[in-house]
Amino acid sequence: MFFCEIRKSHRIHFYLCLGTAKGIYFIMKATLEKLRAEAWRELEGARDARELDSLRVKYLGKKGGITAILKQMGSLSAEERPAIGALANSVREDIEGALASRAESIDAAALSERLRSEKLDVTVPGTPAAAGHRHPMSIVLDEARDIFISMGFAVAEGPEIELSEYGFDKLNTPPGHTVRGWSDTFYIARDESVHLRSQTSPVQVRYMEAHRPPVRIISPGGVYRKDELDASHSPMFHQLEGLVVDRGITFGDLKGTLNTLVQGIYGEDVKTRFRPHHFPFTEPSCEVDVQCVVCGGTGCRVCKGEGWLELLGAGMVHPKVLAGVGIDPDEYSGFAFGVGIERMTMLRYTIDDLRLLYENDLRFLRQFA
Ligand code: DAH
Q: Is the CB of 279 under 6 A from ligand 1?
A: yes
Predicted confidence (pLDDT) per residue in 79-135, tens digit: 888 989 999 999 999 999 999 999 999 999 999 999 999 988 889 998 888 889 999
Residues 211 and 146 in one domain: yes
CB 266 within 8 A of CB 143: no
Q: What is the dihedral of CA 318, 321, 325, 328, to 10 degrees?
A: 30
CA-to-CA distance for 190 and 287, rounded, in angstroms? 33
Residues 112 and 168 in one domain: no
Nearest to 166 by CA among 119, 204, 122, 110: 204
Residues 111 and 140 in one domain: no
The pLDDT assigned to 73 comes to 85
The pLDDT assigned to 338 comes to 98
In a domain, 106, yes or no: yes
The pLDDT assigned to 4 comes to 45
Predicted confidence (pLDDT) per residue in 198-253, tens digit: 999 999 999 999 999 999 999 999 999 999 999 999 999 999 999 999 999 999 99
Judge residue 365's burial from the number of C-beta atoms within 10 Å of its C-beta, 0-12 exposed, 13-18 middle, 19 or more buried.
Answer: middle
CATH number of the domain that residue 22 is part of: 1.20.58
Atom of ligand 1 nearest to the CA of 312: 5
Q: Is the CB of 282 under 6 A from ligand 1?
A: yes
Structurally, the chain folds into a number of domains equal to 2
Residues 62 and 159 in one domain: no
Asked if residue 69 has pLDDT above 80, the reply is yes
The pLDDT assigned to 12 comes to 44
The pLDDT assigned to 346 comes to 96
Ligand 1 centre to CA of 240 (Å) is 9
The pLDDT assigned to 293 comes to 87
| Model confidence, pTM | 0.69
CB 278 within 8 A of CB 285: yes
CATH number of the domain that residue 141 is part of: 3.30.930.10
Atom of ligand 1 nearest to the CA of 223: 4
CA-to-CA distance for 340 and 272, rounded, in angstroms? 16
Ligand 1 centre to CA of 298 (Å) is 28
Q: Which residue among 90, 117, 144 closes a domain?
A: 117
CA-to-CA distance for 279 and 295, rounded, in angstroms? 30
The parent domain of residue 113 ranges over: 2-117
Residues 196 and 332 in one domain: yes
Predicted confidence (pLDDT) per residue in 148-163, tens digit: 999 999 999 999 999 9
Q: Is the CB of 199 under 6 A from ligand 1?
A: yes
Residues 88 and 202 in one domain: no
Helix or strand or coil: residue 132? coil
Residues 101 and 205 in one domain: no
Residues 110 and 143 in one domain: no
Predicted confidence (pLDDT) per residue in 76-92, tens digit: 888 888 989 999 999 99
Predicted confidence (pLDDT) per residue in 320-351, tens digit: 999 999 999 999 999 999 999 999 999 999 99
Q: Is the CB of 286 under 6 A from ligand 1?
A: no
The pLDDT assigned to 18 comes to 53
Least confident among 1-10, 41-50, 356-365: 1-10
In a domain, 127, yes or no: no
Mean pLDDT (the chain, rounded): 92
Closest residue by Cα to atom 6, ligand 1, is: 338
